[in-house]
Amino acid sequence: MLNEKLTLLKSELNNRKARIMIIGLGSVGNYLLDYLVSTKDENIEIIVVGRNHDKMEMDVNIVKIASLIRGQNRTKITIESGVDLNDVVSIVSAIKKHTPDIIVNSSRAYSGLKYGSISWSNFRAYGIWTPLSIKYTKNIMKAYSEAESKAIVINTSYSDVVIPWLKSAEKAYPDFGSGNINHLIPRIKFVLAKENSILDWWNIDVTYAVAHFHDVVISKEGHTEGVKQLICAEYDGKKLEIEDSVFLACKIAMPVDAKRNMMNASSNFEIIQAIFNAVRNKKQTKLHVPGFDGNIGGYPVIIDGTKTKTEVYIDEQKFSLDEMQKKNLESIYLDGIENVINGKLFYTDELIQKVKDKFNVSLPKSVAFDEIDKVADFIINNIIEKTLG
């Protein structure tokens, strides 16, 4: 299906500009808007979608003016306000009105809060927040189906589990996830470059399969929690050794506020550029994508535009799909997710006990698809609101 979307996009862009819709203009959406405008690409149009027109107008204006001062702004930006992500009908209307080629979901069910600021210090597992992460994504994908859209969809919120959950429930699901595993790749390249005296670190090739927990534990603590990593790195055709010292050196000082979302926005940008390079310029790109094709965790993915038909697939040159799936389940378990089966999310017993001990709150063992909103509200009311006071 994704290959068919890319083929359609390739033919469509022979005659018109590409239309990119950004849903949710928070920090990720704002950074992404700025990055896209900064490309000086005259052949894209951007539609920003959200509820508050005045706020979006201010955000759009500063990007437009600042980018034109830099001599970069060549892009038409349209504001579509009054869209409530709790209301599928309003999302359908926006998609039908603008018929985007690429949709980026950068929305959040509880804005202004990094969920990890609560979970990591208390029970070191992000998976508890999955019902919040999927809450708006499922509405967007339902609207996507009802609008009969052919857009390529990129999701920014915990795609390691959100995309598999949608697929397992036999719902429409995003084509790509951004962030998570992708945030580790540059850290690893910088460390390997330093250890091996490589000046052009961007030419180090990394192939990695791992889920969200290890993105966090390696970035924050510099270790793998004793889990052997499924990773291969090469430079100039030669394999580079990856010892524990590499992961230790990946622990670098980073902001904890909204500036961190520069990375997620950059992951979205990378996917969009890879799509355009494939369909416009017949190039091939390797990305690291969480939740790709409804698989739990993160995978190396190839977007190949060098052939007659553009193709996207998981790269199995270094590791088999079975190896990668098993490693990702091992990693995501540490994030509090046991599995996603037949539309149900299963929390681990360990996470349930930790939440009970820390907050005196009893999580359900499983969350059915039709219980997502109820459980999301339960988590907001009984954990987030009480923690924030």
Q: How confident is the model at residue 112 (pLDDT cuts 50, 70, 90)?
A: confident
pLDDT tens digit string along 10-26? 999 999 999 999 999 99
User: Would you say residue 126 has pLDDT above 90?
Assistant: yes
pLDDT score, position 273: 98
pLDDT digit string (tens) for 272-286?
Answer: 999 999 999 999 999
What DSSP string describes 329-374?
HHHHHTTTEEEEETTEEEE-HHHHHHHHHHH-----SEEEGGGHHH
Mean of all residue pLDDT scores within the chain: 96
pTM of the predicted model as reported, rounded to 2 decimal places: 0.97
- Tokens describing residue 238: 């030669």
Cβ(78)–Cβ(47) under 8 Å? Answer: yes
CA 314 to CA 201: how far, in whole Å? 24
Cα(first)–Cα(last) distance of the chain, in Å? 46
Q: Is residue 224 within 8 Å of residue 218, measured between CB atoms?
A: yes
Handedness of CA 268, 263, 140, 177 (dihedral sign): positive
Q: Is the predicted pLDDT of residue 389 greater than 80, yes or no?
A: no
Task: For residues 371 and 279, give the distance between their C-alpha atoms in angstroms, rounded to a whole number.
Answer: 39
Q: Which residue in this structure is represented by tokens 């979901």? A: 105
CA dihedral (281, 282, 284, 290) positive or negative: positive
Retrieve residue 148's tokens. 């009969």
**290 in Cβ contact with 263 (< 8 Å):** no
| Mean predicted confidence (pLDDT) in 210-221 | 96
Cα dist. 233→127, 178, 199, 244, 303 in Å? Answer: 29, 21, 16, 14, 19
Residue 231, φ and ψ in degrees, nearest 5: -145, 145
Band (146; pLDDT cuts 50, 70, 90): very high
> What does the pLDDT look like over 346-387, one tens digit per residue?
999 999 999 999 999 999 999 999 999 999 999 999 999 988
CB of 327 closer than 8 Å to CB of 359: no
Cβ–Cβ < 8 Å for 4, 12 = no
Q: What DSSP string describes 142-161?
A: HHHHHTT---EEEE-S-HHH
Close Cβ partners of 141 (under 8 Å, ≥ 6 residues apart)? 153, 166, 171, 172, 173, 174
The band of 114, judged by pLDDT with boundaries at 50, 70 and 90, is: confident
